[in-house]
Amino acid sequence: MTSRVAAAIDGARAAGRGAFVGYLPIGFPDLETSIEAAVTLAENGADVLELGPPYSDPVMDGPVIQEATQAALAAGFRLRDTFTAVREISRRVDAPVLVMSYWNPVVQYGVDRYADDLAAAGGAGLITPDITPEAAGEWIAASRRTGLDRVFLAAPTSTDERLDLIVENSTGFVYTVSTMGITGEREQLDAAARTLVGRLREHGAERACVGIGISNAEHVAGVLEYADGAIVGTALVRALREGGLDGLAQTARALAAGTALDTAK
């Protein structure tokens, strides 16, 4: 089965751009607005959408995303709202929708049931930040059965053996963590990201997208010198929080302006 996420990244490349992957939490500031926000993001330059169901113990999220997800939980978010959001967004935009979920809610829901409901809603796959391929046998089997993408994370500290496992088991792209620590904007992206993408290529990764710390068009352009896609979260959540849908659209367009590849290089 062809990966819709890989196709979107390849389509951007064919158009002379790197891919722009945009993250937003589901349910912030409320479910309906979060659906509109994701649609707005896709309509203003995002090639792939990454949606985060709020979780009570978000170990990887920085303060801006944590505040948004806590607000969504306080407003009554339920796990089943994930599939409602994915279904509505997928119906309205062509950009593939990945869900970025901590592993515990997937297990609580039932791995096969989660995969079936995500596929039925039109979702493209799962990004799983806190489970490694060797512990993900049930998910690997369910995703193969349903045709969903499996996006695992690689970090600068990952061993060569771990990178082999990640590359072998990831589809769509490998999520390349630019710095150790939580998400959030950084003034300068860690040079470790460039080194890590190089290592992933050596291990056979066809597509690597870099996330954590990318907050402006210059960051996007810098990452796309060596990676296939740039993942932005905090800057988009802040734009939505402070400027509503119009502010989000403006920020998305500004970030997308950094995706043009310099073909003269």
Domain spans, the chain: 4-257
Specify the residue for token string 């059965």. 145
Measure the CA–CA gap between 138 and 148, rounded to whole angstroms: 13
Measure the CA–CA gap between 119 and 143, rounded to whole angstroms: 9
CA atoms within 13 A on the CB side of 144: 8
| 111-120 vs 81-92: helix crossing angle, rounded to 10 | 30
Measure the CA–CA gap between 103 and 106, rounded to whole angstroms: 5
Q: Rg (Cα) of the chain, in Å, rounded?
A: 17
Q: What is the pLDDT of residue 264?
A: 46
Q: How many CB atoms lie within 10 A of CB 114?
A: 25
Q: Buried b / exposed e across 190-223, counting CB within 10 Å, b at 16+? A: bebbbebbebbeebebbbbbbbbbbbbbebbbbb
Reading the block at residue 84, the tokens are 């409602």
Find all residues with CB under 8 Å of 225, minimum gap 6, and list them.
Answer: 262, 265
Judge if pTM exceeds 0.75.
yes
DSSP assigned state of 124:
-
Q: What is the pLDDT of residue 185?
A: 44
Task: Report the CATH fold assignment for 4-257.
Answer: TIM Barrel (3.20.20)
Averages of pLDDT over each 10 residues, the chain, 265 residues: 92 97 95 97 98 77 81 89 98 98 95 98 96 96 98 94 97 86 49 92 98 88 94 95 97 97 61
Measure the CA–CA gap between 261 and 224, rounded to whole angstroms: 7
Distance from chain centroid for Cα 210: 10
Q: What is the pLDDT of residue 59?
A: 58
DSSP assigned state of 155:
-
Task: State which H helix or E strand residue 151 sits in.
Answer: strand 149-151
Enzyme catalytic residues: 50, 61
